[in-house]
Amino acid sequence: MNENASRPRRPPGLPTRRAARDLLDAVLEAHRPLEEALEALPTRLEARDKAAAHRIAAMVLRRLGSIDAVLEPFLRREPPPPARHALRIGAAELLLLGTPSHAAVASAVDLAPRAFAGLVNAVLRKLAAEGPALLEGLDAARLDTPPWLWTAWHGAYGPAVRAIAEAHNGPAPLDLSFKPGALPPEGAEALPGGSFRLPAGTRVTEIPGFAEGQFWVQDAAAALPARLLAPRAGENIADLCAAPGGKTAQLAAAGAKVTAVERDAKRAARLRENLARLQLPAEIVTADAASWKPAAPFDAILLDAPCTATGTIRRHPDVAWLKRARDVATAAALQSRLLQAAAGMLAPGGRLVFATCSLQAEEGEAHLREAPALGLKLDPISPAEVPGLEEAILPSGALRTRPDYWGARGGMDGFFMARFVKG
C-alpha cells in the first residue's frame, strides 16, 4: 500500500490560507504593517499565492468587526489567536469572497490547531448553511471602524462619518500617474485631476509601459499636492519625507531640479529604485528632514509629512487596527517640527505645500494656526485647480479630500493639503 495514499488529502490552496493566517497574525498580534508582513512571507511562495493571501487577509481586516459579530453567537469562549484567525478566514471566504463552502470549511479546519479543529468545523458549517444573510442587519460601517476613529470622525465630519466608513468596505481601484507624453492603457478611466484609474486587482507589472517606466502607482488624492505646488522647469524643489517617490517623480517629470530627502535608509533605497525604473533624475539625501540643513534655500518645497495614515484605510485596511488615539498627538508633534524646518529651508517668496494622508483634524487643519509664526501665508486653493473636487476646498482655502468623495468612481484617499507662500 502506498504510504501517501493513507494520508488525508489536503485541500487545494492551503499554502495561500496559511500565508493569509500569517498576515493576520502579523497585523493583529505582532502589530506589524500588512505590506511589511507581505514582504516577509517565504520566497518559495509564488507571487500569485501571495496576492491571493493578501486579498483574503485584507478582506478580513476590512470587515473585521462584522466577521467577529457573526462568529460571536457560535463561540462560548474566546479561542486562541490561531483558531480565531482560522475562523475569520473561513468566514470571510464563505460570506464575502464567494469561495465554495467545502473548500472554505476544509481549509479553515486544516489551518486551526488540532484541539480546535472540531470547533472550527462546526462553526463554519453553520455559517455555510446560513450564508451571507448572516451579514444582513448588521451596522457594518460602525462595526468595522474602531470606536476611537468613529468618534473622531463624527466630531470632525458629522453625519459624513458613515459615508467615510462605508467607503472602506471594498478594495480600492488602481490609480496611475503617467510621464508627460506617455499613453494610458486601453480601458483606463481618465480622472478630473489628471490621474488614470483601473479596476481593483489589476496587476501593475502586467500593464503595458511598466517595464519602460512610463507610469507609477499613485492614488488620485496623493497626486494633488505636487500639482498644487505647480513645479516649473529649472526650479530647485525639495521633496521632504520623499519615499516611495511618487511625488518626487511628478516634480522631476515637470523639469524641476529635485532634492528628495528621506530619513529611512531602506525607504530611500526603494525611492532610488523607483526613480531608476522611471528614468527620472533627483538628488536623494538620506537624512532627517527635521534637522537637515540644505546648502541653499529652495524655490519650493513639498512636505508630505509622516502621519497616522487614517486617510488610506481603503487601500491599507490594517491601518484601522494598528493605530491608536495616542498616535495622533505623536504624529502631529512630528509634523509641527517638520513644518518649522521646511519653512526655514524656503527662500523668500517661495511656495510650500504641506500635506498629510490622515483624516484626523489634529494632523491637518490644526497646523494652519502654526503657519503665521513661521512666516508662512496661506495661498488659497481655487476650484479651477481641483476640478471635480470643489467641495473639498475648506473655507480657509486649504483642501480636505475624503474616502467618500468620487464614491461612484471608487473613492479616493483622505488627505489634508495647504499651500503657503513665505513672506
What CATH number has the domain bearing residue 348? 3.40.50.150
φ, ψ for residue 367 (rounded to 5)?
-70, -15
Is 357 an active-site residue? yes
Grid coordinates given for 377: 501665508
- Inside any domain, residue 163: no
Number of domains in the chain: 2
Q: How far apart are CA 118 and CA 121, in angstroms?
A: 5
Q: Which residues of the chain have pLDDT under 50?
A: 1-11
Task: Find out whether 417 and 225 touch, Cβ atoms under 8 Å.
Answer: yes
The pLDDT of residue 249 is 98
- Residue 150 and residue 156: Cα distance in Å, rounded? 10
H-state helical runs in 29-139? 34-39, 47-62, 64-71, 81-95, 101-111, 117-130
Same domain, 226 and 347: yes
Residue 48 maps to which CATH number?
Answer: 1.10.940.10
Tell me if residue 388 falls in helix, strand or coil: coil
Are 347 and 212 in a shared domain?
Answer: yes
Asked whether residue 149 is assigned to any structural domain, the reply reads no
Query: H or E element: which one contains 166?
Result: helix 160-166
Whether the Cβ atoms of residue 376 and residue 343 lie closer than 8 Å to each other? yes
Fill in the amino acid letter for 419: R
167, part of any domain:
no
pLDDT value at residue 359: 98
Which one from 275, 357, 374, 418 is the annotated catalytic residue?
Answer: 357
Q: What is the pLDDT of residues 368-392, one digit of tens each?
A: 999 999 999 999 999 999 999 999 9
Residue 3 confidence (pLDDT): 38
* Closest C-alpha among 230, 220, 276, 226 to residue 248: 226
Provide the pLDDT for residue 1.
37
Does a structural domain hold residue 87?
Answer: yes
Q: Which three cell numbers stand for residue 80?
A: 486562541
- Secondary structure class of 267 (helix, strand, coil): helix
CB atoms near residue 4 (< 10 Å): 7
pLDDT of residue 422: 98
Structural domain range at position 189: 174-422
Give dist(CA 246, CA 180) in Å, integer: 14
**What's residue 13's pLDDT?**
86
